[in-house]
């Protein structure tokens, strides 16, 4: 992770409630941190953002993403969106999870629900975001920079964000 005053971008999965939301709230207090709260649906994500803003977070440093972890295609699509918007990602907090199901439920992908949501989906997300996570470690020393982590998306000059 970069130093205390270096802009950084942190994605927190399962930030619609519980520990994930509380973590997002704590991170959003830092003016150098862009927080990407993940939720199961766009509406839940917007609700989470609204609560964070109500608690004092700067809206320009919040960028919600959504994916239902019971659909791996959703997870892959979310990883593509995150990578496109944040070529450098400083941290991924794999927090989203379900408690063990009482009955055997299969996902659309043919896996049992609990291991898919708690293991397969975070694994896929981590693998797909690995280039962005790695870029945040190496990209800061390169020129032109692959991204400017932590800069509010609305304020970023997109033409300068060239791939390395
Ligand atoms: N609370 C504890 O005592 C405790 C103890 C040990 C470990 N943990 C771990 O800490 C983490 C958070 O726990 P918590 O108590 O804060 O849980 P929580 O309040 O139930 O929050 C879980 C989060 O994961 C999301 N999620 C669940 N299924 C999902 C799916 N299919 N797709 C996308 N998102 C999904 C939930 O979204 P929805 O609101 O849409 O369901 C919610 O945002 C979990 O990894 C848990 O295993 C918690």
- Judge whether 50 and 97 are in contact, CB under 8 Å: no
Q: Give dist(CA 101, CA 115) in Å, integer.
A: 10
Domain count, the chain: 1
Would you say residue 21 lies in a domain? Answer: yes
Output the pLDDT for position 157.
38
Would you say residue 148 lies in a domain? Answer: yes
Spatial CB neighbours of 24, under 8 Å, sequence gap ≥ 6: 12, 15, 35, 37, 48, 52
CA distances from 151 to 102, 104, 108, 117, 138 (A): 44, 44, 37, 31, 18
CA of 105 to the centre of ligand 1 (A): 18
Would you say residue 85 lies in a domain? Answer: yes
Would you say residue 3 lies in a domain? Answer: no
Cβ–ligand 1 distance for 65 under 6 Å, the answer no
Q: Quick check: helix, strand or coil at residue 6?
A: coil
Domain that residue 109 falls in: 8-160
Query: From the alpha carbon of 14, which atom of ligand 1 is closest?
Result: 43
Would you say residue 2 lies in a domain? Answer: no
Output the pLDDT for position 161.
36
- Total length of the chain: 164
Would you say residue 1 lies in a domain? Answer: no
Rounded to two decimals, what is the model's pTM?
0.87
Q: pLDDT by residue (tens digit) across 27-47?
A: 999 999 999 999 999 999 999
Q: List the CATH number of the domain containing 42.
A: 3.40.50.720
Q: pLDDT by residue (tens digit) across 86-139?
A: 999 999 999 999 998 789 999 999 999 999 999 999 999 999 999 999 998 765
Cβ–ligand 1 distance for 113 under 6 Å, the answer no
């Amino acid at each position: 992770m970069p130093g205390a005053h270096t802009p950084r971008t942190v994605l927190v999965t399962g930030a619609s409630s519980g520990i994930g939301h509380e973590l997002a709230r704590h991170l959003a207090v830092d003016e150098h941190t862009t927080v990407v709260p993940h939720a199961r649906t766009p509406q839940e994500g917007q609700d989470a953002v609204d609560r964070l803003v109500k608690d004092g977070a700067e809206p320009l440093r919040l960028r919600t993403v959504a994916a239902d972890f019971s659909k791996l295609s959703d997870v892959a699509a979310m990883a593509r969106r995150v990578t496109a918007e944040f070529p450098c990602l400083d941290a991924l907090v794999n927090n989203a999870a379900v408690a063990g199901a009482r009955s055997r439920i299969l996902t659309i992908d043919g896996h049992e629900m609990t291991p898919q949501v708690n293991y397969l989906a975070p694994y896929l997300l981590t693998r797909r975001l690995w280039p962005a996570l790695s870029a945040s470690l190496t990209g800061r020393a390169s020129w032109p920079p692959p991204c400017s982590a932590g800069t509010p998306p609305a304020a970023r000059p997109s033409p300068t964000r060239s791939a390395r």
